[in-house]
């Protein structure tokens, strides 16, 4: 009886260790251990609208990764410069009575990353979403456009963080 329990225990421990070895061997990393804090332990976020929605989304993601956001630029701290975002919309299709049927929202933001001792690298994020419009629900559609723009800002912030993670600095 005791040997069966002992065998089961060792089998269980062996399977757990083998699973951990397999998971670590295939490149799996925990979500918050993505290497971003090793690349950028401190960063200065330069933006025209430091309290804007995009800047807040970026700050939330940086703080979530454990990165300290500096109030002033320093010589040994990376600088993330975010240009003002641009939004535009265009009509994609019309109803028979020449009213807007479908619109496309375009969201664009340019940014650059300057790591200490390396060249500044420029990037841009261009996102597009379309939605249908109904003239009888104009208030609801304007609210939908606001929500869509907020969602696009969140996606842009995620894209900026992903670029920072995959960035290879150039001298």
* Cα atoms found within 13 Å of the Cα of residue 4, Cβ hemisphere only: 1
Cα separations in angstroms, 83 against 52, 112, 125: 12, 8, 11
Return the domain boundaries, the chain: 1-30, 31-166
- The predicted model gives 71-96 an average pLDDT of 86
Q: What is the mean pLDDT of the chain?
A: 83
Q: What is the pLDDT of residues 19-41, one digit of tens each?
A: 877 777 666 555 544 677 888 88
Predicted confidence (pLDDT) per residue in 86-121, tens digit: 988 887 777 777 777 778 888 999 999 998 888 899
Count of residues in the chain: 171
Could you tell me which residues come within 8 angstroms of residue 81 by beta carbon, excluding any fewer than 6 positions away? 46, 47, 111, 112, 113, 114
CA distance 111 to 54: 12
User: What is the per-residue pLDDT across 156-168, written as a single tens digit (0 to 9) for each?
Assistant: 999 999 998 888 7
pLDDT computed for residue 159 by the predictor: 93
**Of residues 118, 127, 135, 115, the one with CA closest to residue 158:** 127
Q: 31-166: which CATH number, 3.40.980.10, 3.30.700.30, 2.40.160.20, 3.30.160.150?
A: 3.30.160.150
Tokens describing residue 21: 């070895």
Give CA–CA dist 154/132, Å, rounded. Answer: 22
The predicted structure's pLDDT at residue 58: 94
**pLDDT interval class at 135 (50, 70, 90):** low
Section 68-96 average pLDDT: 87
DSSP lists the bridge partners of residue 113 as 80, 121
């Amino acid at each position: 009886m005791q040997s069966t329990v002992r065998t089961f225990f060792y089998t269980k421990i062996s399977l757990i260790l083998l699973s951990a070895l397999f998971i670590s061997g295939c490149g799996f990393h925990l979500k918050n251990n993505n290497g971003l804090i090793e690349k950028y332990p401190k960063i200065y976020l330069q933006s025209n609208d430091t309290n804007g929605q995009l800047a807040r989304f970026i700050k939330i993601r940086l703080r979530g990764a454990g990165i300290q956001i500096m109030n002033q630029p320093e010589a040994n701290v990376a600088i993330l410069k975010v240009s003002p975002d641009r939004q535009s919309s265009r009509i994609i299709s019309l109803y028979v009575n020449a009213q807007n049927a479908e619109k496309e929202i375009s969201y664009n933001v340019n940014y650059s990353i300057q790591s200490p001792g390396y060249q500044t690298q420029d990037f841009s994020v261009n996102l597009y979403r379309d939605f249908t419009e109904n003239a009888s629900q104009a208030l609801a559609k304007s609210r939908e456009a606001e929500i869509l723009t907020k969602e696009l800002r969140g996606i842009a912030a995620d894209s900026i963080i992903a670029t920072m993670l995959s960035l290879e600095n150039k001298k």
